[in-house]
Amino acid sequence: MKKKLSLKFPKKKIQNLIISKKYLGNHLNMKVLNEFGFYVLKNALTKKLVEKYKNYYYENIKNQKIKKSDNHITQVIIKEKNKLNNIIKENKFIKIVKNFYEGNVGCDFIRIVRKDIYNKDLLFTHQDTGYQSGNTNDKYSLFIALTECNEFNGGINIFPGTHKYGYLGDVGEISKKITDKFLMLKTNLSDGDILFMNSNLWHNSYENSNLKDRIYLEVHIQNSFEPNTKYLVLGKSNNEWKISGDTKNLFTNSRTSRIKILNKHLSRLKKMINKSL
């Protein structure tokens, strides 16, 4: 007989965190970040700096220099020479991350994750680690709010502490039967705030119901000695072990390519069935 799944977690501790609002402030609290897997840094960027990157974003969209990925609800890929990547060179940004990884801070990707009038769907509960490569611990997404990002336009909701379970071995939807037992927090950011999120932390987002743009500039940081570090933010990096380019090309038979092939077969089968009816 299969044993019933059971997940133990310190509910009281998380309740206290939420009531005390210690996850929120003008100074990054590394202790809270380590223990609960997230922190909301208020007014992290000046309004001027936020405006600059928000304008870059809208310019890029208007000139079609960036566009939404086909197989992703929110992702907008940024090419290497795009001005949006300059965020990691801003003094303000460098100051914010200087205490990570003993000052050796790398970044493996920068992207936009947005919802708007055209892309408004909710995102089921998941963790990001399974979509990433390299070491599975101690990596963080910095979600920089370029607009208001709240519960009404599909802002990120997180499940405090769940990064402690580590990588769960899949990238699918975490069962509602499980998440219903946990405490979920709506992160509700104003423009210029940053949500720090451990990549193992469970999270989701509601539908964009007020149809106002929800735009995060996401910078994913890691120890710069990781072989897949693409950009060095500060400190030193490794040049003995290095992966450059698209890691998808490591595989001839990847999970996503298999899904694409299966979908092709499926649509061919559907056509054949329809013809024979």
* Beta carbon of residue 238, minimum distance to Fe ion (angstroms, whole number): 27
* Beta carbon of residue 103, minimum distance to Fe ion (angstroms, whole number): 27
When asked if residue 193 is in the footprint of Fe ion (CB under 5 A), the reply is: no
Please compute, for residue 198, the number of CA atoms within 13 A of its CA located in the half-sphere on the CB side: 25
Whether 205 contacts 145, CB under 8 Å: no
Q: Which of these ranges, 17-25, 70-78, 123-131, 172-180, lies near Fe ion under the rule CB under 5 A?
A: 123-131
Residue with Cβ nearer Fe ion (54 or 220): 220
When asked if residue 218 is in the footprint of Fe ion (CB under 5 A), the reply is: no
Instruction: Tell me the site size for Fe ion, rule CB under 5 A.
Output: 1
What are the residues facing 83 on neighbouring strands? none
Residue with Cβ nearer Fe ion (128 or 193): 128
Q: What whole-number distance in Å separates Cα of residue 46 and Cα of residue 172? A: 37
Residue with Cβ nearer Fe ion (130 or 227): 130
128, 191, 213, 218: which one contacts Fe ion (CB under 5 A)?
128
Q: What whole-number distance in Å separates Cα of residue 196 and Cα of residue 164? A: 15
Residue nearest to Fe ion (CB): 128
What are the residues facing 203 on neighbouring strands? 126, 158
When asked if residue 191 is in the footprint of Fe ion (CB under 5 A), the reply is: no
DSSP state of 136: S
Residue with Cβ nearer Fe ion (108 or 128): 128
Cα dihedral 97/185/166/22 (nearest 10): 50
Kindly calculate the radius of gyration of the chain based on its CA atoms and give it in whole angstroms: 20
Residue with Cβ nearer Fe ion (199 or 237): 199
Binding site for Fe ion (CB under 5 A): 128
